[in-house]
Amino acid sequence: MKYIDVREASAKWGISDRRIRLLCAEGRIDGAIKLGWSWTIPADTPKPTDGRILRRFKTIAIRPGSVDVDALSRMMEKVSVSEDLYENAAFKNVIRESSETLLEYDGTVIDDKDARSILSGRVVPYVPLETHLALLNARSVIFSLVRNKEKLCEKDAKELYVRLMQGIDDVSSVDYREGYAVYPAREEEQAPIDVEMETMFMQYENSWRNYQGITSAVLLYVSLLRIQPYADYPSLYAYLLLCAELLRNGILPPLMDKDSEAEAKAAFSLAIKRGNYEDFTHFIERKIHDSYKVIGNV
């Protein structure tokens, strides 16, 4: 495969060197590889989508909802996001129960006793190997996110899915599925999945990441549930990105339980149909409080 440098790509696409380096760092130029201080780009990589085009598809008229910042701050003082969580049994239980719940949303039902056995390192013969891997990979990803304090980019999001699918599908997991968002932002003009994802991260970069941590996480979470960029484990994957944004802001992940499915679906429907995220934000906020109660007894 032939590669070109940033200067050659700039001349080819009519984009500044600085902009190309930024797009490479954000994972928005397919196949770009960093070598030392420079980037190399496959010669046949298509030109990245113009931001003016992406703006046509952005989510508009959002009412994100309020968060009780004082209550959250008091909880965060009691339980800090640090590597101490690796040995915290209650934190592991939050991950386990949440993973079980999200797997069930995605059509994979697993008994709590079996999930505990798998996460303790035992093989359960009658549970599919894929389910073993999904549980173990999800926990591994969340543990790694505890250490990460950097803002997210599209490249990070793609890598998280590859890690979730490790040993399950190591080939097609690197690519978005073909088609359009499951719940399109505009019925009259649908965008391909890659454009939807670029648009989402453009909004995140330009505004969402500067919001209060729960708010920015909810905006990402709802967008991913709406788009569903991958065919397998869309709910679990969206939860991992939700965790990534919360943990980088020093906030524990929400404790997702199976009894709240109806409430979650109703709040999600309101968010995607009317742009009203208030119920969904309050739902996630309450589930985060549940995590602090379980982990820190606060």
Q: Is 28 helix (H, G, I), strand (E, B) or coil?
A: coil
Indicate whether 159 and 78 sit together in one domain. Answer: yes
Indicate whether 88 and 19 sit together in one domain. Answer: no
Backbone angles phi, psi at 192, to 5 degrees: -60, 160
CA separation for the pair 113, 261 (Å, rounded): 21
Indicate whether 282 and 142 sit together in one domain. Answer: yes
- Of the pLDDT bands very low, low, confident and very high (cuts 50, 70, 90), residue 267 is very high
Backbone angles phi, psi at 39, to 5 degrees: -115, 140
Q: Is 30 left (phi over 0), alpha (psi -120 to 50) or beta?
A: beta
Indicate whether 230 and 102 sit together in one domain. Answer: yes
Indicate whether 88 and 11 sit together in one domain. Answer: no
CA separation for the pair 37, 87 (Å, rounded): 37
CA separation for the pair 96, 112 (Å, rounded): 9
Tens digit of pLDDT for each residue in 218-254? 999 999 999 999 999 999 999 999 999 999 999 999 9
Indicate whether 103 and 88 sit together in one domain. Answer: yes
Indicate whether 172 and 272 sit together in one domain. Answer: yes
Tell me the residue range of the domain where 27 lies: 3-48
Indicate whether 211 and 69 sit together in one domain. Answer: yes
Indicate whether 172 and 29 sit together in one domain. Answer: no
Tens digit of pLDDT for each residue in 150-200? 778 888 899 999 999 999 998 888 899 999 999 887 666 688 898 899 889
pLDDT score of 56 more than 50: no
pTM for the predicted model, two decimal places:
0.82
Strands (E) across 31-92 are located at: 33-35, 38-42
As for how many domains the chain has, the answer is 2
